[in-house]
Amino acid sequence: MTAGSVLLVGGSSEIGMAVLMQLLGPAPRQVILAGRPSGELWRNAEKLREAGYPVDTAEYDAALDTGELDGMLDKVCAERPLELAIVAVGSMATTSFAEGLLVNGTAISLLLQALVRRKPEQVVLLSSAAAVRPRASIAAYSLGKQLADSTALVLGRQSDVRVLVVRPGFVTTRMTAGLSKPPLATTPERVARRVAAAIELRKTVVWVPGAMSLAVRVLNLLPRKLLPAAWR
């Protein structure tokens, strides 16, 4: 990865920050953190500045339309071309099915299209195993991730931009705090290391952990009524 500007959309995401730190390389390198204004986003920006990186912040919201996304990217990329974009946006805590689809799927698909039009060297989408193994208990999240996951794969095939789709299973973060930890649970740091290795090997899809791919294939073969309710 050559030195240049790096954009993390989902600037308060623990997994996104872990991936960013793994891929960032030595300071100084221009970093842009985009997301909803929050204390966590400001703390992440300050952490990067203390490490010697110039940091700008930008507001990103799932309600942005295509023109507004292009405007946001025009502004943050005005001085330096974008070389690496990490998309780490997702939520299981949406208030309705429609909002879940918008936040995790439709909005991400529009964002990915806007990013690819800028021809960065690499785009990394933090998807989910739920994109391939949708579950009724998180239906909107799963279906949204399916849309974003598929969009990223199609864009990677149709353009010269390298696109990596990351499909972790359960990751121990603030979003999953309080939930029972299932088999094959992982951490943001392990996700970040797998992403770095996958980029080095120029992969288009990486599962975290690697055994999650086989687990999902097996689960998809089993009758759902035989599985615990949370796994259906």
Residues taking part in catalysis: 141
Q: Number of C-alpha atoms within 13 angstroms, CB side, residue 132?
A: 21
Provide CB contacts within 8 A for 206, sequence distance 6+: 164, 165, 166, 167, 194, 195, 197, 198
Whole-number Cα distances in Å, 140 to 94, 98, 156, 202, 213: 9, 7, 24, 31, 21
On whether the CB atoms of residues 199 and 230 are closer than 8 A, the answer is no
Q: Cβ contacts of residue 43 below 8 Å, gap of 6+?
A: none
Name the phi and psi angles at 225, rounded to 5. -65, -15
In whole angstroms, give the CA distance from residue 15 to residue 24.
14
Cα Rg of the chain (Å, integer): 17
- The burial class, CB within 10 Å (0-12 / 13-18 / 19+), for 103 is buried
